[in-house]
C-alpha cells in the first residue's frame, strides 16, 4: 500500500430533475465551493483536479475542458475518467491512487451529471456495442426489471419487501437536505399502488434522473492532519472489471456466472481483515438503482446469506436505527445524478464516519463504513472508510 489518504472536504449540490438556472460548469462549481468551504481551503490549495461523468448523456464532448475555471483547475494537472455507472467511485479511486503515490498532497475529485440536457435511457441503450446487442436493448430499466423477476422467483421475496426498501429510502431522503425525491411515503400500499414502468418494476421501484454534483477533497496524511480534526481515511478501494455477462445483461439468470460484486467484496474483506462484514463494518451506502437490486446486493456483498436479502429488510436490520444501516441518505432510488451517484455514496459514508450526517446520522457509532458502485454492466468499485487507521 502507498501513503495514507484522507477525505478532508465534502460538498454536494441539492438535486432536482431540472436545473435551468445553471450551466453544467456552474452546477459543478456549487459542489466544489461546498467542499472547499468544508475543508476551509482555497482553490490554490488544491494541487490536482479529477472529474467524472457520462459525457454522452449530455451530448457534450470533453465537459472537463469546459469547467476548468469553475473547478479551479486552471493550469493544474488532472484527468477525466469515465467507467460507466461506477465512474463517480473510480474518480475517488483515481485521486486516492495519485495522493497515495506521493505525487500530489491534495486532490479534488468530482462526480457530476446534468441529465436534464439529454436523454439518459437513449444514451444507455446506445452504450451497447454497436455491432452487438443493438436494437434489442431496453436501457438499464429493462435489465433491472428482469433481475427483479429472477430475484422474486429465486428467493421468495415479495413485492412487499421491495416496498419496505422504498419506504426506508424515502424516510432517509426526507431527512437528507440534498436528496432529490422526498415523497413522504406513509405505507407500503402507496408503493404497491404505483404503476408499472417495465413489469415488474413500478414507478416507485426505480431511481429518478437527477441533476447534481458531488466533490471531495483528498489529502495526504501530513496535510490531512493540518486541514481537519476529522479526517476520514480511505482504508482501501477495490475495483473488479468484468465484461458484460454473455447475455449482455446486468444479472446472471443461470446462476453459473461469477459476480464482480462478490469478488470485489471478498477481496476487500480479505485485504482488510474483515471476517464478519455487518459487525466489522458499521454501515454501508450502496448503489441500488432499484429497491429489488438493494436486496440482491445485500447478498452479493455478504451482508447476509444467499437468498436472504429480503429478510434483512423484514427485520429492519438495514434501517437508520438498525444494526447495520444501509443508505440512510435515501440512496440512489431517491437521488441519481449518475456520474455523481457513486461519489455521493462515498461522501455520505464519510459524513457518517465523521458523525456529520445530521438528521440522517445512523444510531450505531460508525468507525468503519463501506461505499459501493455498480456499473458496466458488472463493474464494481467498493471503498472502505475508517475514522482511524
Partner 1 sequence: MTTEKKAEKKPEYIKVEIARPRAYKWSSGKYLGKLYKEALENRKLVTNRCPKCKQLLWPPAGVCGRCNVEAGEDWVVMSGEGTVLQYTYLVFPLWDPHYGDRLANPYPTATIKLDDGVFLVHFLEEKDPEKLKNVKRVQAVWKEEGRGRGLGDILYFRTIDE
Rounded to whole angstroms, how far apart are CA atoms 283 and 206? 22
What is the smallest separation between the CB atom of 134 and partner 1, expressed in angstroms? Answer: 5
Report the residue number, 33 or 302, with the smaller CB distance to partner 1: 33
Among 17, 101, 254, 363, binds partner 1 (CB under 8 A): 254
3-state secondary structure of 317: coil
Rounded to whole angstroms, how far apart are CA atoms 339 and 84? 8
Report the residue number, 101 or 254, with the smaller CB distance to partner 1: 254
What lies within 8 Å, CB to CB, of 186 at 6+ separation is none
Residue 74 interacts with partner 1 (CB under 8 A): yes or no: no
Report the residue number, 248 or 277, with the smaller CB distance to partner 1: 248
Q: Restricting to residues 17-36, which ones interact with partner 1 according to CB under 8 A?
A: 20-21, 30-31, 33-34
What lies within 8 Å, CB to CB, of 165 at 6+ separation is 288, 291, 292, 294, 295, 313, 333
Residues in the chain: 389
Among 13, 53, 90, 336, binds partner 1 (CB under 8 A): 13
Q: Are 348 and 357 in contact (CB under 8 A)?
A: yes
Residue 193 interacts with partner 1 (CB under 8 A): yes or no: no
Q: Are 381 and 342 in contact (CB under 8 A)?
A: yes
Q: Restricting to residues 130-159, which ones interact with partner 1 according to CB under 8 A?
A: 130-139, 142, 145-147, 149-150
Residue 200 interacts with partner 1 (CB under 8 A): yes or no: yes
Residue 116 interacts with partner 1 (CB under 8 A): yes or no: yes
The secondary structure element, H or E, covering residue 81 is strand 78-81
Q: Restricting to residues 230-249, which ones interact with partner 1 according to CB under 8 A?
A: 243, 245-249
Total of chain residues touching partner 1, rule CB under 8 A: 54
What lies within 8 Å, CB to CB, of 350 at 6+ separation is 7, 10, 216, 232, 369, 385
Q: For helices 291-300 and 159-175, what crossing angle results, to 10°?
A: 100
Among 97, 174, 253, 263, binds partner 1 (CB under 8 A): 253
Report the residue number, 74 or 199, with the smaller CB distance to partner 1: 199
C-alpha cell of residue 30: 456549487
Rounded to whole angstroms, how far apart are CA atoms 104 and 62? 24
Residue 181 interacts with partner 1 (CB under 8 A): yes or no: no
The secondary structure element, H or E, covering residue 278 is helix 277-280
Among 79, 82, 119, 263, binds partner 1 (CB under 8 A): 119
- Cα radius of gyration rounded to whole Å, the chain: 19
For partner 1, which stretch binds (CB under 8 A), given 10-18, 65-73, 164-172, 310-318?
10-18
> Where does this chain bind partner 1 (CB under 8 A)?
10-14, 16, 20-21, 30-31, 33-34, 38, 116, 119, 121-123, 125-126, 130-139, 142, 145-147, 149-150, 177-178, 195-201, 243, 245-249, 251, 253-254
Amino acid at each position: 500500500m502507498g501513503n495514507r489518504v484522507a477525505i478532508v472536504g465534502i460538498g454536494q449540490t441539492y438535486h432536482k430533475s431540472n436545473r435551468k438556472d445553471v450551466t453544467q460548469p456552474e452546477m459543478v462549481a456549487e459542489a466544489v465551493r461546498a467542499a472547499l468551504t468544508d475543508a476551509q481551503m482555497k482553490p490554490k490549495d488544491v494541487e490536482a483536479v479529477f472529474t467524472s461523468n457520462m459525457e454522452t448523456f449530455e451530448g457534450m464532448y470533453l465537459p472537463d475542458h469546459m469547467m476548468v475555471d469553475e473547478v479551479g483547475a486552471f493550469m493544474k494537472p488532472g484527468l477525466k475518467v469515465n467507467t460507466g455507472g461506477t465512474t463517480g467511485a473510480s474518480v475517488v479511486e483515481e485521486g486516492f491512487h495519485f495522493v497515495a503515490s506521493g505525487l500530489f498532497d491534495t486532490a479534488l475529485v468530482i462526480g457530476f451529471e446534468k441529465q436534464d440536457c439529454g436523454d439518459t435511457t437513449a444514451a444507455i441503450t446506445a452504450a451497447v456495442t454497436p455491432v452487438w446487442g443493438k436494437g434489442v436493448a431496453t436501457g438499464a430499466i429493462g435489465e433491472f426489471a428482469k433481475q427483479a423477476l429472477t430475484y422474486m422467483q429465486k428467493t421468495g421475496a415479495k413485492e412487499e419487501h421491495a416496498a419496505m426498501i422504498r419506504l426506508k429510502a424515502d424516510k432517509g431522503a426526507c431527512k437528507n437536505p440534498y436528496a432529490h425525491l422526498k415523497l413522504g411515503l406513509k405505507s407500503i400500499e402507496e408503493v404497491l399502488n404505483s404503476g408499472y414502468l417495465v413489469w415488474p418494476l413500478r414507478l416507485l421501484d426505480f431511481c429518478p434522473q437527477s441533476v447534481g454534483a458531488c466533490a471531495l477533497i483528498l489529502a495526504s496524511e501530513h496535510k490531512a492532519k493540518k486541514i481537519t480534526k476529522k479526517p476520514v481515511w480511505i482504508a482501501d478501494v477495490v475495483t473488479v472489471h468484468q465484461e458484460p455477462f454473455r447475455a449482455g445483461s446486468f444479472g446472471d439468470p443461470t446462476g453459473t456466472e461469477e459476480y464482480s460484486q462478490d469478488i470485489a467484496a471478498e477481496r476487500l474483506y480479505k485485504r482488510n481483515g474483515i471476517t464478519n462484514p455487518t459487525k466489522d463494518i458499521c454501515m454501508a451506502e450502496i448503489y441500488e438503482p432499484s429497491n429489488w437490486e438493494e436486496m440482491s446486493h445485500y447478498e452479493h456483498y455478504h451482508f447476509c446469506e444467499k437468498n436472504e436479502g429480503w429478510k434483512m429488510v423484514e427485520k429492519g436490520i438495514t434501517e437508520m436505527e438498525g444494526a447495520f444501516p444501509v443508505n440512510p441518505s435515501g440512496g440512489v432510488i431517491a437521488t441519481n445524478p449518475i456520474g455523481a451517484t457513486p461519489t455521493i455514496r462515498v461522501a455520505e459514508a464519510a459524513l457518517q464516519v465523521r458523525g456529520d450526517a445530521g438528521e440522517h446520522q445512523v444510531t450505531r457509532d460508525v468507525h468503519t463504513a463501506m461505499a459501493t458502485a455498480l456499473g458496466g454492466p458488472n463493474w464494481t468499485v467498493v471503498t472502505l472508510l475508517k475514522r482511524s487507521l
